[in-house]
Structure 1
Amino acid sequence: MCSRYEAPSSQRLLEAFQVAPDEPTQTELWPTYVGPFLRAPSDEGVNHDARAYEALSGIFGLLPFWAKDTKLARRTYNARSETAAEKNSFRGAWKSSQHCIIPAVAIYEPDWRSGKAVPTRISRADGGLMSIAGLWDRWTGPAGEDVYSFSMLTINADDHPLMRNYHRPDDEKRMVVILPNGAINDWLRAPPEQSMEFMLQYPADRLVAEARPSKR
């Protein structure tokens, strides 16, 4: 499960996707922090000249309409793909195909093989941005404002050559769903009944891992 990641700068988002959020975002992300996410344009199907993606800023941790405050995001930053359709926090977004991608320069996971948690930075071997499959939602804040939020989808990684090395020894191994570049558009526009088809492990040989000290 991923609770810390590096988001790209607006400039790098523009270079990779030709869009970036209008609102400021943070680059060192923990649950409840604000980062960028991309979804299919809201005017798609009406405006044939619409951009391929719409970039928004949102809270890292999904906030469904019934959330009392943003503290819920501390528990909803990851969504188990196997149960997202049933879990109260995620089922609305899953059943409505509120798909998004969370762009990331790198994610961090704890390596417990030494007996202590060693923060490890994991990134794409080719230096490209990770496109993490996620769900987004819209929540109404105390002043009536729209607050966007997102969660990273995860799958089992017990047999993944790289990601099985992280988290506590007795815990189930999990990993976020990193989409190949060619699957991004299909994911953003997929209907609910096709969502599970995208829940696949990213190849280990396309990732690199490096132990890093925690900055927190």
Structure 2
Amino acid sequence: MCSHYQAEKRRHFYEKRFGIKLPPDWEPPRGSGGLHVYPTQFAPIVRRPPECDSGDEAVPDFDVVDARFGLLPGFATEVKYGTRTYNARSETVATLASFKQAWAKARHCVVPCEAIYEPDWRTGTHIPTRFTAVDGGQVALDV
């Protein structure tokens, strides 16, 4: 994924794209980085509710919950572990202990973003480079 991202703050994107009714008092995330979310910080994700397979027609297709940026496997003893598990490689995600349980159970979500940031090392120093949708729309990462 990315080194950090700018969380989606425009409520109409959640409602229009996913059909989610946000509560009237919903506010965009404001962590220590403002709207910028770094590993181990909380931000909204879109997921299928755990009750979606119950057959209950009242259960929505998607919901928004706050989650930490970075995977915390069951054996992690502290939140700081998430600074090492926010970036997985497709070649090893099914075999590394940190990721294989979540991968095997197909635990996926969508991370709504306005922008993602990747380091640009071409000059020899880390320069955060911002990536956005060309049309100003939402960047939604499926993770």
Deviation at 1:79, TM superposition (A): 1.4
Equivalent position amino acid for 2:15 in 1:
L
Which whole-Å CA distance do the structure 1 matches of 2:21 and 2:111 have between them? 13
Per-residue CA distance 1:123-142 (angstroms, 9 max, x = gap): 111222111121xxxxxxxx
CA distance in structure 1 between the aligned counterparts of 2:42 and 2:116, rounded to whole angstroms: 16
| Larger strand proportion of the pair | 1
Q: What aligned pairs does 1:121-132 form with structure 2 within 5 A after superposition?
A: 121-132=130-141
Aligned partners of 2:93 and 2:99 also within 8 Å = yes
Letter in 2 for 1:7: A
| Counterpart mapping for 1:205-216 below 5 A | none
Residue 9 of structure 1 aligns with which residue? 9
The 8 Å contact of residues 110 and 120 in structure 1, kept in 2 or not, is answered as yes
CA distance in 2, matches of 1:64, 1:115: 33
Aligned pairs for 1:1-216 (under 5 A) are 1-9=1-9, 11-12=11-12, 13-17=14-18, 18-20=20-22, 25-26=29-30, 27-46=35-54, 47-134=56-143
Q: Normalized against structure 1, the TM-score is what?
A: 0.56
Q: Distance in 2 between matches of 1:44 and 1:23?
A: 25
Shift of 1:91: 0.6
Partners of 1:20 and 1:79 lie apart in 2 by 30
Identity between Structure 1 and Structure 2 (%): 40
* C-alpha distance in 1 between matches for 2:17 and 2:90: 26
Aligned residues: 134
Normalising by structure 2, report the TM-score: 0.82
Structure 1 unmatched runs, 5+ = 135-216
Could you tell me which residue of structure 2 aligns to residue 151 of structure 1? none
CA contact (8 A) 2:15 2:21 kept: yes
Structure 2 unaligned regions, length at least 5: none
Report runs of 4+ in structure 1 exceeding 6 Å deviation.
Answer: 21-24
Provide the secondary structure at the position in 2 that maps to 1:9.
coil
